[in-house]
């Protein structure tokens, strides 16, 4: 996958690793990066794989590009420029992982919230300082962060201007693991090694039912019915039983 100016994209058979690549701007998310993230999503939608997102340099992403934001008006806000790509990432068929080093602030934090899983280096920090700039955290924080950490913590971050460190993020469930600085990507790749050993179809349907917005017993039953008829299920259970009796 070539032709990217704001991302470094490393595709593989079972995963795509994307590094936000504007280190001089602390990986601030601009319109060009949004367009390139849409390209990555289109590729993964056509050939489902795990997505790992990380940052180049010291930070994951220190926010959206303020110079661009300052020039945006009502029409750009209604277009949901950043929100639309984060929603698309959240809807990718297989699990997505944010490997966070340094600052994940503003739009950078919202990109991590859009991922299914997060691993943080010890120096990672998460926050949404948008109200201090006179705007809303409108790229998913208002509806994703409370789901991830509870409304009280979400209000502390968004309304109270609280920046939470890696250990606090671990305690409140925002991240699944805190690792030594510089090793978040390697840990995310290790998680992916474990994930891709599972059934791809079972992962896709499990993610769909987990992300459903209300109680959904019939949806669970339908998804299970599809899996019960899959050759992969029969093969995996046969291997399990053969190992158990050998």
Active site annotation includes 24: no
Average pLDDT on 125-140 reads 92
- For residues 130 and 121, give the distance between their C-alpha atoms in angstroms, rounded to a whole number: 24
CATH fold for domain 7-197? 2-enoyl-CoA Hydratase; Chain A, domain 1 (3.90.226)
Active site annotation includes 235: no
Whether the Cβ atoms of residue 90 and residue 84 lie closer than 8 Å to each other: no
Query: In this structure, what token pair is assigned to residue 150?
Result: 């509870």
Read off the DSSP letter of residue 99. E
Average pLDDT on 229-235 reads 89
Q: What is the pTM of this model?
A: 0.91
DSSP-assigned beta bridge partners for residue 118: 98
Helical segments of the chain, H only = 31-46, 66-71, 74-79, 81-90, 107-114, 141-149, 151-158, 166-171, 184-195, 200-210, 217-228, 231-245
Q: Structural domain boundaries of the chain?
A: 7-197, 200-244
Position 212 scores a pLDDT of: 86
Sheet containing strand 164-165, strands side by side: 103-105, 125-127, 164-165
Kindly report, residue by residue over 112-127, the tens digit of the pLDDT. Answer: 999 999 999 999 999 9
Of residues 76, 110, 229, 242, which has the active-site annotation?
110
- Give Cα separations from 32 to 2, 6, 77, 139, 160 (angstroms): 15, 7, 17, 16, 31
Q: Mutual orientation of helices 31-46 and 81-90 as an angle, nearest 10°?
A: 20
Q: Is the pLDDT of residue 150 over 70?
A: yes
pLDDT band at 200 (very low <50, low <70, confident <90, very high): very high
Of residues 68, 76, 130, 235, which has the active-site annotation?
130
Position 87 scores a pLDDT of: 95
Kindly report, residue by residue over 18-76, the tens digit of the pLDDT. Answer: 999 999 999 999 999 999 999 999 999 999 999 999 999 999 999 888 888 888 888 88
């Amino acid at each position: 996958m070539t032709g990217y100016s704001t991302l470094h994209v490393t595709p593989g058979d079972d995963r795509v690793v994307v590094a936000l690549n504007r280190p001089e701007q602390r990986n601030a998310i601009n319109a060009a990066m949004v367009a390139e993230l849409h390209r990555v999503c289109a590729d993964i939608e056509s050939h489902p794989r795990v997505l790992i997102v990380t940052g180049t340099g010291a930070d994951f992403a220190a926010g959206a590009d303020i110079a661009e934001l300052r020039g945006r008006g009502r029409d750009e806000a209604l277009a949901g420029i950043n929100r639309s790509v984060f929603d698309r990432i959240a809807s990718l068929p297989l699990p997505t992982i944010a490997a966070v080093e340094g600052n994940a602030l503003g739009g950078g934090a919202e990109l991590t919230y859009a991922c299914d899983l997060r691993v943080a280096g010890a120096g990672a920090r998460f926050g949404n300082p948008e109200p201090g700039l006179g705007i809303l955290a409108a790229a998913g924080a208002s509806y994703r962060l409370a789901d991830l950490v509870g409304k009280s913590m979400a209000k502390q971050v968004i309304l109270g201007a609280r920046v939470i460190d890696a250990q606090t993020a671990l305690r409140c469930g925002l991240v699944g693991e805190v690792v030594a600085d510089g090793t978040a990507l390697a840990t995310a790749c290790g998680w992916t090694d474990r994930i891709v050993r599972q059934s791809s179809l079972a992962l896709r349907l499990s993610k769909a039912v987990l992300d459903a917005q209300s109680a959904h017993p019939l949806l669970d039953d339908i998804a299970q019915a599809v899996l019960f008829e899959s050759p992969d299920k029969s093969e995996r259970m046969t291997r399990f039983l053969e190992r158990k009796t050998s």
